[in-house]
Chain A
Amino acid sequence: MNSVPSGQLALRLAAFAFAIVFFQIGVVSEVPVFGVNADLTSLLVAFIGLLCGSTIGAGAGFAVGLIVDLALLQTLGLTSLVFTLIGYWCGRLRDRSQIGQHDPHAALTPLLVGAGASAVALVGYSLMEFMLGVDAPVSFELLRVIVLGVLVNAIVALPMWALTRRVLEGALPEDPRRRRRRAYTTGGLSPLTKA
Chain B
Amino acid sequence: MHDKTVRRRRALLGLLVVLSLLLLTAYFGEAPNGRLHAVQRDFLTVVSPIQDGANKALKPVRDLFGWFGEALHAKSQRDELLKQDNKLRRELVADQSEKRSYHQLLGLSHLDQLGVGNYRPVTATVVVKDPNIWYATVTIDKGESAGVRINDPVINGEGLVGKVAQVAPDGALVDLITDSSMGVSARIGTGTATGLVQPKVGDPNDLLLEYLPATTQANAGEYVVTSGTVTPAYPSLFPPGLVIGQVTSVNEESAYKSVNVHPIANLHDLDIVQVLTAAAGSASAKDSRLLAELPPGQSGPPAGEQLASAQVGG
A interface residues with partner B (beta carbon < 8 Å): 1, 3, 22-23, 25-27, 30-33, 54-55, 58-59, 61-62, 65-66, 69-71, 73, 75-78, 80-81, 84-85, 88, 132
B12 touches A55 (CB 8 A): yes
- Chain B residues contacting A71 (CB-CB under 8 Å) are 43-44, 47, 51
Q: Given A73-B40, A132-B28 in contact, is the A26-B17 Cβ separation under 8 Å? A: no
Main secondary structure of the interface of B (DSSP, over half): helix
- Chain B residues contacting A25 (CB-CB under 8 Å) are 51, 54
Measured CB to CB, the nearest residue on chain B to A65 is: B20
- Cα distance A69–B40 in the bound complex, in angstroms: 8
A-B pairs under 8 A by CB, number: 94
> CB of B191 within 8 A of chain A?
no
Closest 3 CB pairs of A and B: A77-B23, A77-B24, A81-B20
B5 touches A1 (CB 8 A): yes
Pick the contact of A58 from B12, B23, B26 — CB < 8 Å?
Answer: B12
- Chain A residues contacting B27 (CB-CB under 8 Å) are 75-77
B17 touches A75 (CB 8 A): no
Pick the contact of B17 from A22, A30, A76, A84 — CB < 8 Å?
Answer: A84
- Chain A residues contacting B58 (CB-CB under 8 Å) are 23, 26-27
- Chain A residues contacting B55 (CB-CB under 8 Å) are 26
Measured CB to CB, the nearest residue on chain A to B22 is: A77
Measured CB to CB, the nearest residue on chain B to A25 is: B51
Task: Give, as a whole number of angstroms, the nearest-CB distance from B100 to chain A.
Answer: 46
- Cα distance A70–B215 in the bound complex, in angstroms: 105
> CB of B69 within 8 A of chain A?
yes
> CB of B36 within 8 A of chain A?
yes
- Chain A residues contacting B12 (CB-CB under 8 Å) are 3, 55, 58-59
B24 touches A76 (CB 8 A): yes
Encode B213-234 as 1/0 by CB contact (under 8 A) with A. 0000000000000000000000
- Cα distance A22–B53 in the bound complex, in angstroms: 10
Task: Give, as a whole number of angstroms, the nearest-CB distance from B84 to chain A.
Answer: 21
Pick the contact of A62 from B5, B16, B36, B65 — CB < 8 Å?
Answer: B16
Encode B41-68 as 1/0 by CB contact (under 8 A) with A. 0011001001100110010011001100
